[in-house]
Structure 1
C-alpha cells in the first residue's frame, strides 16, 4: 500500500525511536520527501543516511525557541508545502514530588509543551489545506503509573492532547485534521535516559510491561503504523481525537 503516495511529511525528533520509525514508514508508504529534525547534527545525519535520498535532515532543538521558530523557513528551502506533520520530539524525565526541581520542570514543559506548540506555529502556514497534523502524547496522560514520579511528564502530555483538540477546531475551515497519538510503554531510547542501571532498567521494564494486557512494550514500528493511519486518507474523518496505542494499558 502507498497510503502517503507523493506526500511531503515532516517528523520532529525523527532521528531515533518512534520518530525514525515513523519517517521510515512514511517513505515505505510512498512519501516523496520526509523531513526529519533532531537536536544533534550527528544523529540527524545518521538518520538521513539510513533513510536515503528522499530524506532531508534539519537540526532543530525543541528547547531552543530561535531554532523552533526558524523551522518553517528551513523547510521552505526544500519544499513549498507539507502534507503531514508529526510533532514527536519530546523528553521523558521522572522525579517524585519531593525530588522535583524547577530545572526538571522547565525542561519537560519547555520541550514537550512549549516547544511542540511553537513548532506548530512555525509549520502550520506550510501545511496544505486538507493535510494532517499529529502530536505525540502518551497513554500516561490518562493513567499514570503509581510511584513512577511521572507527574510533570504526563501533565505536559495531557496539556498537549488538549491543545491538539483545540487546534483541530481552529484549523477545521482549512480541512486540516489534527489528532493526538498516545503510545503506551514503547521500547525507545527515551527509556534508556532516566538514569537506570541495567538491572533497574530490566526491573522497570518488567514492571511496566506487566501493567498492559499484552504483557509487553510496543515497538516503535507499531506506533509508526498508527501515525501513518492518522496521516493518510484512511483517517479522512478523524480529527480532534486521541488515538491510544497502549497494548491495553488503560484497560488493565
Structure 2
C-alpha cells in the first residue's frame, strides 16, 4: 500500500542519513520528494540514487538568505507541499569554558532559526491535512558534558512542536516531532572531532545502549512515514522517541 500516493514531501538535509532514508521511504510509498543539501555535488548524487521521483535544491539550513529563497525554489517544481520534514542539522560539542561565539551562533542559526524559518517559508504551500515533522533528540533529557549548546538548541525545537501544533490546528495541519537516539549517520563529521575520536565515541557508547547497537536511519524513516501518513491522522503535538529505550532505561 502506497501511504503517500499523490503527495509531495519536502525534506531538509536529505542527502544522507535519516533525511536520505526518509526520502527513500516516502518515494517507496508513492510520494514525490524534494530534498535539500548544502552541496550541489551531494544533492545531485542523492537525487540520482533516489530516482525520477526526487528533485534537489542546494540550500544551507544555517543561512537565512537560503531559507528565504526556499518558497521560490520549491515553486519551480510544485505549488503544494503535503509533508514537511525539518531534518537538517548537526552538533558542535565543547566545554562551557571553550565554546566560542561562532560555535554558539552556528548551532542556533541552523537548528533554531533554521527550523523556525523553514516552517515559516513552507507553511503557505501546505494544504489542509498536511503534516509537519521536526527532528529533535533524546539528549535534552539527559545531562551530558560538552553538549550544552546542542541540547539547548534542540530544546527550542521541542518547544516549537507544541507551539506550532497549537497554531496549526486551525489550518488542519498536524505537527509532531521525532526524537532519535544514537543513529548510524554522519552527524559526528561536522563536530570537529577527528576520525579516531569519532570511532572512540561510538565504541564507548555502543555497550551502554539497551540493544547494544546504534539505530538504523531506516528506523527513523519508517517513523517519519507513520507520522506523515493518514495512519497518524489523530496524532498531533507529540514527540515520538525512537532511541531503543535508552532514555527509559538509563540510570
TM-score by length of 1: 0.95
Match of 2:231 in 1: 234
Q: Distance in 2 between matches of 1:192 and 1:60?
A: 19
Q: Distance in 2 between matches of 1:250 and 1:206?
A: 19
For the 8 Å contact 1:213–1:251, the answer to whether it is kept is no
**Alignment of structure 1 residues 1-252 onto 2, 5 Å:** 1-31=1-31, 33-144=32-143, 146-147=144-145, 149-252=146-249
Q: Distance in 2 between matches of 1:219 and 1:29?
A: 19
For the 8 Å contact 1:142–1:158, the answer to whether it is kept is no
> Over residues 46-95 of structure 1, what are the superposed CA-to-partner deviations in whole Å (9 max), with x where a residue is unaligned?
11111111111011111211110110111112112011000001121100
Give the 3-state SS of the residue equivalent to 1:67 in structure 2: helix
> Over residues 203-229 of structure 1, what are the superposed CA-to-partner deviations in whole Å (9 max), with x where a residue is unaligned?
211222233211211111111111111
For structure 2, the 5+ residue unaligned runs are none
Runs of 4+ aligned residues of structure 1 deviating over 6 Å after TM superposition are none
> Over residues 118-175 of structure 1, what are the superposed CA-to-partner deviations in whole Å (9 max), with x where a residue is unaligned?
011100001111100001111112224x33x111101111110111210011010111
Q: Distance in 1 between matches of 2:197 and 2:64?
A: 35
For the 8 Å contact 1:15–1:37, the answer to whether it is kept is yes
Q: Distance in 2 between matches of 1:89 and 1:201?
A: 20
For the 8 Å contact 2:90–2:191, the answer to whether it is kept is no
Q: How many residues are treated as equivalent by the alignment?
A: 249
Q: Distance in 1 between matches of 2:130 and 2:142?
A: 30
For the 8 Å contact 1:11–1:36, the answer to whether it is kept is yes
For the 8 Å contact 1:14–1:36, the answer to whether it is kept is yes
For the 8 Å contact 1:69–1:122, the answer to whether it is kept is yes
Give the 3-state SS of the residue equivalent to 2:247 in structure 1: helix
**Deviation (angstroms), 1:232:** 0.6
Q: Distance in 1 between matches of 2:167 and 2:149?
A: 27
For the 8 Å contact 2:90–2:190, the answer to whether it is kept is no
**Deviation (angstroms), 1:13:** 0.4
**Deviation (angstroms), 1:107:** 0.3
For the 8 Å contact 2:71–2:121, the answer to whether it is kept is yes
Give the 3-state SS of the residue equivalent to 1:216 in structure 2: coil
Give the 3-state SS of the residue equivalent to 1:130 in structure 2: coil
> Over residues 5-41 of structure 1, what are the superposed CA-to-partner deviations in whole Å (9 max), with x where a residue is unaligned?
111001000011111111011001111x100001111
